[in-house]
Structures are given as C-alpha cells and as structure tokens.
Amino acid sequence: MHGYSKTGIIGGGNLYDTKILKEAKEEMTLTPYGRVHYYLVGNQPLIIRHGIQRKVPPHRINHKANIFAMEKLAVRYIFSFNSVGSLKKVIKPGDFLIVDDYINFNPVTFYDDVIKHISPEISPELIDVLSKILKKLNLKFHQKGIYFQTSGPRLETKAEINLIKNFADIVGMTMASEATLAKEMDLEYASLCSVDNYANGISENTLLAEDIMKNQSKMTKNIEKIIKEIAEIKI
C-alpha cells in the first residue's frame, strides 16, 4: 500500500498550523463511509479529525471513515491526540494524560446490521510506547486516567460535570468513538490527551471556548516533538 507505515496518527485542534502539516503531503482515500483527506508525515498517515479546513464539529466527525481509512492504508497501530477538560484539580491544564480506559454510553459501531460483541480496550503496548516517549522528552504527564466521552458540540453543564467527575478523570468528545471502532477493526489504539482546561465548574474561573483554543496552541510544540518520536519507533 504505497509503502505506508504500520503506525498512523489521528489528531485534532493542536495540529493545525504546525510545521509538520506544512511539510507533509496531502492525500485522499475513499471508504464505504466517505472520502478521507489525510497527510503523509514521512510514510506515516496522519488524519485531522475535524477536517483539513477545521470545519467539522465533534458531533459530525466521520469516525467510521477515519478508522476504515487507517485500516485500508495498512496501519496496525493508531496513536491519537485528543484535547480534553480535566475533572480533577490535580490534573492541570498544560499536563498530558495517557488514557487507559473510557466511558461512552452512546458508542458508534461498524456492526449496525449484525450482532457482534467486542471488549473495548486501549492498547497496553501503545500505552507503554507513549510513556517511554514522554519520559524521554521530560514532559509532565499522568500515567493513566479514565476518559468520559460526551456528545458535543456544546460544553458540559456544571451539573453534568459534577456527576461524571466521580467516575472519570478527563472529559472529551471524540476519543472513545475512535477507540471502539479501532478495536472492531482489530487495530491497536492509544490516546495521549492534552489537558487544555478544567471542565465546567471544576475551577472557580468561567470556562470560555477561546481560552481552550489558546491552551491548545501552547501544547502544539510538544505534540510535534512526540509525533517525530512516533515516526522513529519500530513496533
């Protein structure tokens, strides 16, 4: 398949306007769920989940097409980068967190017309890879945490956060869907989350969307370093 790497990357808002994308080749592939535009970073496919123009809101992301495209491009190991809100005071904006489990009560599936059960799992092997990279780069991170997925596109209410903070460590709108679909395709998947804000009500400060965007930008340089390390690994 065109010499593609066995590793692929899915990223979000942190990757726009990065040097990596400016130097990468843009390509497109067709899937049964729609076309997918992606970048080639060396020989490693990189999909921007919100679209090339950053116009796709979280609840409209075509996760099925993105994961199917990775499998079609001969990817076996997916490293995902996700922006999240913290549900715990000790997990601070500016930190990284490696997800080891997740909660999603509205999952997507490839199996709409057949009965097939899977046991969702974040790849222990890829968790270990991410941990080693972050230690090598001397970046502050949390070794594990539970991700709670909400539907979006709005942020969560304070009452919702007050409920889910008892069961999870971070909250986002995308990762769990990717993880479940990857597992259905027998692909290894792991997520590194950048904590860009405290979730609504965790901090005394008012949560503003523009502040989240600013914090995402601050994490970009470190994410670029991590992606370069991923490109060098041999799995």
* pLDDT tens digit sequence for 35-61: 999 999 888 999 999 987 778 999 999
Q: What is the torsional sign of CA 192, 196, 199, 203? A: positive
In whole angstroms, give the CA distance from residue 169 to residue 85: 9
Max CA pair span of the chain: 51
* pLDDT tens digit sequence for 54-73: 789 999 999 999 999 999 99
- Residue 186's Cβ-side half-sphere holds a number of Cα atoms within 13 Å equal to 2
Q: With pLDDT > 90 as the criterion, what percentage of the chain qualifies?
A: 72
Q: Is the peptide bond before 45 cis (omega within 30 degrees of 0)?
A: no
In whole angstroms, give the CA distance from residue 106 to residue 228: 34
Overall average pLDDT of the 179-208 stretch: 90
Average pLDDT for the chain: 90
Reading the block at residue 54, the tokens are 């950053």
Task: Say if residues 4 and 75 touch (Cβ distance below 8 Å).
Answer: yes
The DSSP bridge pattern shows strands 34-41 and 44-48 to be antiparallel
Overall average pLDDT of the 143-160 stretch: 95
* pLDDT tens digit sequence for 127-142: 999 999 999 999 999 9
Question: Which CATH number applies to 7-232?
Answer: 3.40.50.1580
In whole angstroms, give the CA distance from residue 187 to residue 70: 9
Is 90 exceeded by the pLDDT of residue 160?
yes
* DSSP structure string for 65-116: HHHHHHHHTT--EEEEEEEEEESSTTS-TT-EEE--EEE-SS---S-SSS--
pLDDT of residue 12: 85
